[in-house]
């Protein structure tokens, strides 16, 4: 059959609007978007994103305007000067004053650390940094892209993307999308430079669609693993891995399990929470330990009353973190070099091997509730700003809820106690919870009715911060199984998270909103299971056959008993009605964003491929051949003739007359041809002639074509 | 064609380097996104190589330019059909030269462009075959292909205006024979072409009637017979001489019959393409003596010169030329 061009007006219209130039610019914009998303996150966590929008808009507009006005060299100079100015602005905001030279070296060191995997979120003034890191790349990329220098624009945007990839802040999906966007930018940029139209550039569309589909499919496997957590070999992460081995960033998981292996033994006069690390920056879905949070002298003694607690820790397995009761004032006997951070975290240079031990002397605060109540709210500047940080995306209702709940409490200590008790009463302890979307604290307060210590502690800190009370998230181990008067055995299942609240004159005081009995019984269950399975590291000699139930404190171990009588402002009944059962009911499977992305990519590829192969054209032609014209007699015959031309083997030359063309053809075809001539040039045809032409065409169709009938015959009469 | 024909471009090398760096860095740090960079970049290379490998050879179509004389220029329009972006490098045979080449010939996914050639030497000259470089749509790989299609252009021999003294005798004899070669007018019939319609005369007639000019049929008697022979190294000169003579005679209204080594061509004023074509294509050789009798003019090319022989004697063609024309490559 010949190919007859069936021109589609819809496609022509699309062709005019969607040009390769705009697809290239979109691709490059996508790369920039991925970069800006990281900056946006930093700004949201620390403050107000409005400033970032403004800065980006100004830089983009400047780039767009100047793309018409100045040469590339000038633009690059402007970009360089602008970036230098921004850098100066950032440097001025750092503690340490305005001495430029003194800051250059550490700044270079910072840049190197960032490139080595230091998350942007850990930077002290991450929001200011983000504001100063945005304009340069945005300006240059916009300028170059609008100027048609697609390779240059892609290079600038790509470098920015690479930077946030190296800091570890960009998700793999966004990274893959960014790379595809960059390739699309240069490929369609080539099309634009060659002056091609989208219709002609089929090859590029197919290639990019194929790449997108392949990248999404290939990324699906690691992406799925991403959402489950960084557990080696996949599967449910352990509490210990999430909390104690988290390093600088705590990501909050969904369902979690406990690891029952013995970690170490502690010898001390009394039990305590064996603290490992604290985190100051709440991101909405996890915790980050900022660089500023670690500054200061870690071994200072707490202000206020305290008593000394000597501890000796012996490793029963290789351990990479060094617990110590709050607050450590001296560390000795450690076989590896140890740094003590300003927030009290012990940072060993390398892990301790089994059998090694170390000693810690701590001063445990012993302030009474009365003293804490009257501590006041004169917080030091550094403490207040850092430890009351909440992301701008935190819903207001968190603060409102906390207000109502603690309306009766008129000092920070009572507020903290109300929240602590309320949470113990209100929520069920469970390791099997679905990780909520959105802000963790908000979800725990309004959507969940059960959780584990990470959720309890996170929510309590967030609630305290909404009231302007400095609080932080702390990880470590609960006391563990007591095997002797002064000895405890600590397992991975004892990994725990709790809260520290700051009181002027007393320092950081511990609170624990997780119901202790539930927690220890869950721990016991896991250990019993492991014992049944015969797992080896569950027990050492002293612990065998003993219940591992910690005689853990029902209340805060540091505050005396008897102070538990506190009125809540609302009965629990009223609160029950509010909480939505989000974790137990049957949930409708909503496709994740990644799955949607994959579906979109594959569909796009299939559509483009089909178009490329002409499938749509062929389909349309086949339908057209079978759909007989149903019009006035002349037009019907003309329509039949046109279809005949497509059916015939040899293409008709424009100069050939119908008669000449059909000279060797079938009788039926000749009939149609002559009727056509009459219809078009002659006196017209009548109804009988139409039906004979139709009959002739139909019989030809049956011979030449498989499946001649799509639907019942219409038009023409028998 | 196979995988081995594909070569990476500079861009392709950059992409591979980025993937390599990402892989190296991923070993040191625990950053997951580096895998996304390397995997996606390598997938891009795979897609590019696969697309180029699967793409067929480009097809090239050229509009064959009209024949012409040395020194004239012609525009060649080339249409390339290719599923992937292609750059065309045209080669032309000896005897023509490219004088204008468009600035941009990365053609995108096929397209059309034109270039200008100057005709230089008599003969049938080749345009093409071209050498094409195809790349994949992402610009990561290239390969070179040579599609076979060629076109040709015919270059006639150079015509020089000549001083007709030597052939005056011949001319006078012809013109003097009395019969004029007037064209006459007659009515249009169905078998006439529109070209022959004499419009001015037709304007005086009623609207439906047309008149055509009829060229007088020349009888062989009226044509001057020229015999042309040449050694292989002097065919150009012979052809040029014959063409120039024929031109001179035709300007005086006299047709010619030319006996070439392989054929015999009649030529009349206004219809000289056949002769020019034959002269363009002719090779060396001699005309058999039977035919050669009765020739009023004999042209012989040897040792790089053409010699004209008329009744009065031999003369070197060069001496007849009043104005050297044309370009000899």
Structural domains of chain A in order of their starting residue, each with its CATH number: 10-200 (no CATH), 239-576 (3.10.620.30), 615-704 (no CATH)
Q: Does residue A36 register a pLDDT over 90?
A: yes
pLDDT for A521 equals 81
Between the alpha carbon of residue B324 and those of residues A610, B55, B159, B315, the distances in Å are 63, 52, 9, 17
* Whole-angstrom distance, CA of residue A350 vs CA of residue A358: 14
Q: Are residues B205 and B64 in the same domain?
A: no
With residue A344 as reference, give the H or E element that holds it: none
pLDDT confidence band for B182 (50 / 70 / 90):
low
CA distance B187 to chain A (A): 27
* Listed range (A97-111, A333-347, B105-119) with the worst mean pLDDT: A97-111
Percent of chain B with pLDDT over 70: 85
High-pLDDT (> 70) share of chain A, %: 81
Of A357 and B268, the structure prediction assigns the larger pLDDT to A357
Question: How far, CA to CA in Å, does B118 sit from each of B54, B94, B104?
Answer: 38, 11, 20
Position A336 scores a pLDDT of: 83
Q: What is residue B169's predicted lDDT score, i.e. its pLDDT?
A: 63
- Suggest the residue from B18, B23, B43 to mutate for an interface test with chain A (most A CBs closer than 10 A): B43
Is A190 within 8 Å of B35 when comparing Cβ atoms? Answer: no
From its phi and psi, is residue A140 left (phi > 0), alpha (psi between -120 and 50) or beta? alpha
Residues of A in contact with B138 (CB under 8 A): 183, 186-187, 204, 207-208, 211
**Residue A231 touches partner B, C-beta closer than 8 Å:** no
pLDDT of A234 higher than 60:
no
What range defines the domain where residue B138 resides?
59-155
| Nearest-angstrom CA–CA distance, B98 and B114 | 11
Are B75 and B49 members of one domain?
no
Tokens (6 digits) for B74? 């012609």
Give residue B204's pLDDT: 83
Q: What CATH number is given to the structural domain containing B76? A: 2.60.40.10
How much is the mean pLDDT over chain A? 80
Residues B113 and B150 in one domain: yes
Cβ distance B32 to A162 less than 8 Å, yes or no, reads no
* Residue B318 distance to chain A (closest CA, Å): 49
Higher pLDDT, A355 or A300: A355
With residue A182 as reference, give the H or E element that holds it. helix A172-193
CB contact under 8 A, B137 and A207: yes
Task: Tally Cβ neighbours within 10 Å of residue A438.
Answer: 13
What count of CB pairs under 8 Å joins A to B? Answer: 118
Helices and strands per DSSP (H, E), number in chain A: 25, 17
Q: Is B254 on the interface with A (CB under 8 A)?
A: no
Q: Cis link prior to B129 (omega < 30° from 0)?
A: yes
Residue A564 has pLDDT above 70, yes or no: no
User: What is the length of chain A?
Assistant: 718
Both tokens assigned to A674: 């002559």
- Direct distance between the N- and C-terminal alpha carbons of chain B, in angstroms, rounded to an integer: 38
* A196 and B CB contact within 8 Å: yes
Q: Is A232 on the interface with B (CB under 8 A)?
A: no
Domain co-membership, B41 together with B16 = yes
Half-sphere exposure of B182 (CA within 13 A, CB side): 5
Q: Are residues B8 and B47 in the same domain?
A: yes
Q: Nearest CB to A187: which of B39, B41, B139? A: B139
Give pLDDT tens digits for A93-152: 766 555 555 666 666 777 777 777 778 888 878 888 888 889 999 999 999 999 889 999
Name the residue in chain A with its Cα closest to that of B139: A187
- Tell me the two tokens of residue A656: 């050939």
Q: How confident is the model at residue A612 (pLDDT cuts 50, 70, 90)?
A: low
Inter-chain touch A176–B11, beta carbons under 8 Å: no
Can you tell me the mean pLDDT for A494-513? 92
Total count of domains within chain B: 4
Q: Are residues B202 and B225 in the same domain?
A: no
- Could you list the beta-strand ranges (E) of A333-416: 338-340, 346-348, 357-365
Q: Say yes or no: A162 contacts chain B, CB-CB below 8 A.
A: yes
Q: Any idea which of A322-336, A338-352, A383-397 has the lowest mean pLDDT?
A: A338-352
Residues B170, B310 contacting (CB under 8 angstroms): yes
Which token pair is A42? 């930093």
Q: What is the pLDDT of residue A577?
A: 35
Does any CB of chain B come closer than 8 Å to the CB of residue A234?
A: no
A210 interface with B at CB cutoff 8 Å = yes
The mean pLDDT value for A376-404 works out to: 90
Instruction: Tell whether B75 and B187 lie within a shared domain.
Output: no
Q: C-alpha dihedral over A499, A503, A506, A509, to 10 degrees?
A: -10
Check A165 against B84: CB less than 8 A apart. Answer: no
Instruction: Tell me which chain A residues have a C-beta less than 8 angstroms from the C-beta of B43.
Output: 211, 214-215, 218
Q: What is the pLDDT of residue B163?
A: 76
pLDDT band at B272 (very low <50, low <70, confident <90, very high): confident
Q: Which of A492-496, A547-551, A617-621, B257-261 is the least confident region?
A: A547-551
Q: Above 70 in pLDDT, residue A636? A: yes
User: Same domain for B42 and B74?
Assistant: no
**Residue B78: is its pLDDT beyond 70?**
yes
For B11, which of A117, A162, A186 is closest by C-beta distance? A186
What residues of chain B lie within 8 A of the CB of A168, using their CB?
29-31, 33
Q: Which of A290-299, A566-575, A661-670: highest mean pLDDT?
A: A661-670
The answer to whether A601 contacts chain B (CB < 8 Å) is no
Residue (of A547, A461, A530) closest to A492 by Cα position: A530
Q: Please, where are the H alpha helices in B154-296?
A: 168-175, 199-203, 235-251, 273-281, 289-292
Q: How far is B188 from chain A (nearest CA, A)?
A: 24
Q: Which of A197-201, A664-668, B77-81 has the highest mean pLDDT?
A: B77-81
Q: Do A226 and B41 touch (CB under 8 A)?
A: no
Whether residues B166 and B275 share a domain: the answer is yes
> Which range among A546-560, B146-160, B172-186 shows the weakest confidence by mean pLDDT?
A546-560
Tens-place pLDDT, residues A77-98 = 888 888 888 887 877 776 655 5
What pLDDT was estimated at residue A158?
94
Q: Is A256 on the interface with B (CB under 8 A)?
A: no
> Is residue B134 located within the same domain as residue B119?
yes
* B280 and B291 co-located in one domain: yes
Give the pLDDT score at A198. 78
B258 Cβ partners below 8 Å, 6+ apart? Answer: B226, B227, B228, B242, B246, B264, B265, B267, B275, B278, B279
Task: Report chain B residues whose CB lies below 8 A from the CB of A166.
Answer: 25, 29, 31, 34
Tens-digit pLDDT profile for residues A288-301: 888 765 555 667 77
Mean pLDDT throughout A64-78?
A: 86
Query: Model confidence at A548, in pLDDT bands (50, 70, 90)?
Result: low
pLDDT at residue A159 tops 70: yes
Predicted confidence (pLDDT) at residue A543 exceeds the cutoff of 80: no
pLDDT for A520 equals 80
| Contacts B111 to A, Cβ<8 Å | 196, 200
Asked if B290 has any chain A CB less than 8 Å from its own CB, the reply is: no
Contacts of A23 (CB under 8 A, 6+ apart): A184, A188, A198
**Residues B174 and B100 both lie in one domain:** no
The tokens for A417 are 């106690």
């Amino acid at each position: 059959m010949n190919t007859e061009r069936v021109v589609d007006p819809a496609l022509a219209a699309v062709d005019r609007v969607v040009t390769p130039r705009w697809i290239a610019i979109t691709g490059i914009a996508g790369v920039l978007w991925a970069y800006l998303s990281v900056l946006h996150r930093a700004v949201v966590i620390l403050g107000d994103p409005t400033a970032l929008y403004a800065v980006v808009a100004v830089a983009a507009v400047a780039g767009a305007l100047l793309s018409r006005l100045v040469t590339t060299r000038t633009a690059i100079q402007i970009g360089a000067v602008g970036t230098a100015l921004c850098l100066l602005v950032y440097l001025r905001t750092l503690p340490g004053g305005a001495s430029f030279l003194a800051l250059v070296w550490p700044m270079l060191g910072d840049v190197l650390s960032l490139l080595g995997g230091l998350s942007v979120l850990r930077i002290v003034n991450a929001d200011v940094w983000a504001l100063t890191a945005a304009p340069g790349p945005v300006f240059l990329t916009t300028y170059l892209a609008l100027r048609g220098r697609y390779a240059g624009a892609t290079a600038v945007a790509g470098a920015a993307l690479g930077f946030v990839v190296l800091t570890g802040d960009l998700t793999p999906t966004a990274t893959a999308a960014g790379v595809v966007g960059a390739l699309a930018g240069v490929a369609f940029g080539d099309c634009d430079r060659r002056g091609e139209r989208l219709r002609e550039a089929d090859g590029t569309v197919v290639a990019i669609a194929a790449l997108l589909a392949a990248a999404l499919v290939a990324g699906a496997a690691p992406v799925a693993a991403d959402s489950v957590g960084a557990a080696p070999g996949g599967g449910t992460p352990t509490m210990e891995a999430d909390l104690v081995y988290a390093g600088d960033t705590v990501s909050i998981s969904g369902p979690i399990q406990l690891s029952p292996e013995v970690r170490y033994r502690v010898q001390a006069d009394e039990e305590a929470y064996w603290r490992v690390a604290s985190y100051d920056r709440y991101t909405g879905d996890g915790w980050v330990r900022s660089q500023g949070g670690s500054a200061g002298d870690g071994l200072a003694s707490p202000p206020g009353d305290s008593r000394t607690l000597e501890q000796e820790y012996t490793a029963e397995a290789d351990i990479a973190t060094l617990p110590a009761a709050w607050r450590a004032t001296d560390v000795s006997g450690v076989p590896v070099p140890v740094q003590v951070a300003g927030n009290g975290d012990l940072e060993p240079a390398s892990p301790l091997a089994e059998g090694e031990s170390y000693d810690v002397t701590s001063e445990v605060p012993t302030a009474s509730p009365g003293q804490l109540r009257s501590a006041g709210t004169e917080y030091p500047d550094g403490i207040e700003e850092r430890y009351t940080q909440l992301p701008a995306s935190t819903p207001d209702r968190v603060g409102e809820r906390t207000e109502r709940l603690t309306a009766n409490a008129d000092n920070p200590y009572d507020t903290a106690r109300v929240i602590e008790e309320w949470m113990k009463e209100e929520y069920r302890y469970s390791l099997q919870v679905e990780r909520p979307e959105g802000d963790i604290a908000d979800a725990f307060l309004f959507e969940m009715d059960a959780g584990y210590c990470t959720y309890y502690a996170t929510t309590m800190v967030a609630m305290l911060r909404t009231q302007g009370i400095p609080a932080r998230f702390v990880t470590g181990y609960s006391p563990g199984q007591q095997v002797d008067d002064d000895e405890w055995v600590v397992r991975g299942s004892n990994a725990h998270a709790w809260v520290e609240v700051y009181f002027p004159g007393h320092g950081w005081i511990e609170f624990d909103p997780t119901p202790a009995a539930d927690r220890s019984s869950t721990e016991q269950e896991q250990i019993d299971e492991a014992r049944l399975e015969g797992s080896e590291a569950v027990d050492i000699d002293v612990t065998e056959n003993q219940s591992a139930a910690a005689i853990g404190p029902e209340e805060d171990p540091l505050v005396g008993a008897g102070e538990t009588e506190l009125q809540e402002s609302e009965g629990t009944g009223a609160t029950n009605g509010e909480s939505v059962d989000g974790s137990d009911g049957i949930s409708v499977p909503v496709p994740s964003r990644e799955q949607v992305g994959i579906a979109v990519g594959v569909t796009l590829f299939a559509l483009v491929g089909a178009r490329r192969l002409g499938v749509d054209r062929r389909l349309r032609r086949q339908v057209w051949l079978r759909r007989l014209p149903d019009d006035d007699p002349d037009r019907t015959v003309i329509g039949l003739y046109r279809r005949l031309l497509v059916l015939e083997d040899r293409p008709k030359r424009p100069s050939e007359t119908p008669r000449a063309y059909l000279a060797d053809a079938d009788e039926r075809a000749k009939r149609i041809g002559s009727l056509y001539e009459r219809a078009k040039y002659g006196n017209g045809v009548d109804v009988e002639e139409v039906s004979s032409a139709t009959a002739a065409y139909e019989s030809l169709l049956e011979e030449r074509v498989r499946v001649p009938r799509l639907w019942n015959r219409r038009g023409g009469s028998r | 064609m196979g995988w081995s024909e594909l070569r990476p471009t500079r861009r392709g090398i950059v992409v591979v380097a980025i993937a390599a760096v990402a892989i190296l860095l991923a070993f040191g740090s625990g950053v997951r996104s580096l895998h996304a960079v390397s995997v996606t970049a390598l997938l891009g290379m795979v897609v590019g190589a696969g697309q180029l490998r699967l793409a067929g050879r480009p097809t090239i179509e050229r509009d064959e330019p009209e024949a012409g004389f040395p020194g004239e220029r012609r525009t060649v329009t080339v249409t390339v059909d290719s599923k992937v972006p292609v750059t065309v490098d045209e080669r032309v045979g000896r005897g023509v030269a490219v004088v204008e080449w468009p600035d941009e010939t990365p053609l995108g996914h096929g397209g059309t462009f034109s270039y200008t050639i100057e005709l230089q030497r008599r003969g049938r000259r080749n345009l093409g075959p071209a050498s094409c470089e195809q790349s994949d749509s992402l610009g990561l790989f290239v390969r070179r292909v040579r599609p076979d299609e060629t076109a040709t252009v015919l270059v006639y021999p150079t015509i020089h205006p000549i001083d007709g003294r030597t052939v005056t005798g011949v001319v006078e004899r012809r013109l003097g024979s009395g019969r004029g070669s007037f064209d006459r007018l007659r009515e249009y019939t169905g078998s006439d072409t529109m070209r022959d319609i004499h419009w001015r005369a037709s304007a005086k007639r009623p609207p439906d009637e047309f008149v055509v000019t009829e060229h007088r049929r020349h009888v062989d008697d009226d044509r001057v017979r020229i015999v042309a022979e040449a050694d292989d190294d002097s065919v150009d000169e012979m052809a040029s001489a014959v063409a120039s003579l024929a031109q001179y005679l035709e300007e005086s209204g006299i047709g010619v019959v030319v006996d070439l080594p392989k054929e015999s061509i009649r030529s009349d004023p206004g219809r000289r393409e056949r002769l020019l074509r034959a002269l363009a294509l002719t090779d060396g050789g001699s005309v058999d003596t039977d035919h050669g009798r009765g020739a009023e003019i004999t042209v012989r090319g040897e040792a790089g010169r053409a010699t004209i022989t008329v009744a009065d004697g031999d003369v070197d063609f060069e001496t007849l030329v009043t104005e050297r024309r044309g370009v000899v490559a």
